[in-house]
């Protein structure tokens, strides 16, 4: 009889994180993850192409949330308000009950070159999707590229701070503060550039 329990993807994530922490990524097999999650190997591969993808199952959701956020921003929004609309919804993926798993991933991923490369690809995919949506919305690819880079960096910096913190502050608040700091930094940079290039005398 096939083994099945609710929330298969979540159970596979929990099992993968536990085994990678215990044995290391390279020493853990997909079969062992399936067994720990109480599902069959067939079920695992129905959901994921390989064991690596179990850890990055949220990529498509992040891309969809970013695209929907940018498109749904009010018509008269400033470019940075549109960026916020695309970035803040990403925080909904990381619920408080999953914080421990995310904390463990923070040590598992850096220990594996393969996982680091996959994490970089995930970040790039989110940035590229956001860039495309902002370009379509703003009509300026260069401005959109700068905003996408700044926004994704703020999201990841905020996420890292949230993972490392013992406080129970919502991730949305942490990332929102990072976005505000980034906007202020860009404004200061623009003013300093104008001041440096303004005619004297």
> Tell me: the pLDDT tens digits for 140-153?
999 999 999 999 99
pTM, rounded to two decimals:
0.87
Report d(CA 91, CA 76) in Å as an integer. Answer: 24
Summarize pLDDT for 111-170 with one digit per residue, the tens.
999 999 999 999 999 999 999 999 999 999 999 999 999 999 999 999 999 998 888 889
- The three-class DSSP label of residue 37 is coil
Boundaries of CATH 1.10.357.10 in the chain? Answer: 58-197
Question: What does the angle CA 11 – CA 130 – CA 16 come to, to the nearest 5 degrees?
Answer: 15
8-53 carries CATH number 1.10.10.60: yes
Helix 141-164 with 113-138: angle, nearest 10 deg: 140
Closest by Cα among 116, 135, 127, 38 to 90: 127
Over residues 81-96, the pLDDT tens digits come to 999 999 999 998 888 7
CATH topology for 58-197? Tetracycline Repressor; domain 2 (1.10.357)
Domain with CATH 1.10.10.60 in the chain: 8-53
Structure tokens at 161: 């701070």
């Amino acid at each position: 009889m096939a083994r099945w329990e609710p929330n298969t993807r979540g159970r596979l994530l929990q099992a993968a994180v536990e085994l990678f922490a215990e044995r290391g990524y390279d020493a853990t097999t997909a079969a062992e993850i399936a067994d720990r999650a109480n599902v069959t190997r067939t079920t695992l591969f129905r959901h994921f192409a390989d064991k690596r993808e179990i850890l990055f199952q949220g990529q498509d959701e992040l891309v969809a949330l970013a695209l929907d956020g940018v498109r749904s921003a009010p018509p008269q929004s400033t470019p940075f308000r549109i960026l916020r609309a695309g970035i803040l919804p990403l925080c909904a993926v990381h619920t408080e009950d999953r914080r421990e798993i995310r904390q463990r991933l923070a040590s598992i991923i850096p220990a594996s070159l393969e996982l680091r490369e996959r994490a970089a690809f995930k970040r790039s995919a989110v940035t590229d999707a956001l860039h495309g949506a902002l370009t379509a919305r703003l009509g300026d690819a260069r401005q959109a590229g700068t905003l996408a880079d700044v926004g994704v960096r703020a999201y990841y910096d905020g996420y890292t701070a949230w993972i490392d913190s013992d406080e129970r502050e919502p991730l949305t608040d942490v990332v929102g503060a990072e976005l505000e700091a980034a906007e202020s930094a860009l404004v200061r940079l623009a003013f300093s550039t104008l001041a440096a290039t303004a005619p004297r005398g």
